[in-house]
Amino acid sequence: MREYRGVYGVVMCAWVCFGQTAGPPSADSLSDLLARAGKGDAAAEYSLGQMYVEGRGVPRDFGQAARWYRKAADQGYPEAENAFGFLCDNGQGVPQDHAEAARWYRQAADQGLADAEFNLGSLYDTGQGVPQDHAEAARWYRKAALHGDSDAAFDLGVMYEEGQGVARDDSVAAQWYRQAAEQGIAVAQTALATLYANGRGLPRDPAAAVSWLRKAAERGFAPALHDLAAAYAEGRGVPRDYVEAYLWMDLAAFRARGPLRVQCSAERGTIAHQLAPGQAATAEHRALEWKKKWAP
In this predicted structure, the answer to whether residue 52 has a pLDDT above a threshold of 70 is: yes
In this predicted structure, the answer to whether residue 276 has a pLDDT above a threshold of 80 is: yes
Query: What three-state secondary structure class fits 203?
Result: coil
Query: Confidence band (pLDDT; 50, 70, 90) for 262?
Result: very high
CA distance to 205, 253, 266, 282, per residue, from 226 (Å): 19, 8, 12, 19
The 8-class DSSP code of residue 92 comes to S
pTM exceeds 0.75, yes or no:
yes
In this predicted structure, the answer to whether residue 215 has a pLDDT above a threshold of 80 is: yes
In this predicted structure, the answer to whether residue 249 has a pLDDT above a threshold of 80 is: yes
Cβ partners under 8 Å of residue 178, min gap 6: 188, 192
Q: What pLDDT was estimated at residue 3?
A: 54
Torsion sign over Cα 126, 129, 133, 139:
negative
Count Cα atoms within 13 angstroms, Cβ side, for 131. Answer: 3
Q: What pLDDT was estimated at residue 20?
A: 31
The one-letter code for the residue type at 89 is D
In this predicted structure, the answer to whether residue 100 has a pLDDT above a threshold of 50 is: yes
Contact 85, 101 (CB under 8 A): yes
Query: Confidence band (pLDDT; 50, 70, 90) for 78?
Result: very high
**What domains are defined for the chain?**
1-132 (1.25.40.10), 220-296 (no CATH)
The one-letter code for the residue type at 130 is V
Q: What pLDDT was estimated at residue 28?
A: 55
Could you tell me which of 78, 79, 51 has the C-alpha nearest to residue 65?
A: 51
Phi/psi for 55 (5° steps) reads 70, 35
Query: If you average pLDDT over every residue of the chain, what do you get?
Result: 91
The one-letter code for the residue type at 90 is N
Could you tell me which of 114, 79, 84, 77 has the C-alpha nearest to residue 102?
A: 84
Cβ partners under 8 Å of residue 3, min gap 6: 15, 53, 82, 83, 86, 87, 115
Q: What pLDDT was estimated at residue 22?
A: 40
Q: What pLDDT was estimated at residue 181?
A: 98
Q: pLDDT digits over 131-166, tens only? A: 999 999 999 999 999 999 999 999 999 999 999 999
Q: Using CA atoms, how far apart are residues 189 and 153, in angstroms rounded to an integer?
A: 12
Query: Confidence band (pLDDT; 50, 70, 90) for 26?
Result: low
In this predicted structure, the answer to whether residue 74 has a pLDDT above a threshold of 70 is: yes
Query: Confidence band (pLDDT; 50, 70, 90) for 8?
Result: very low
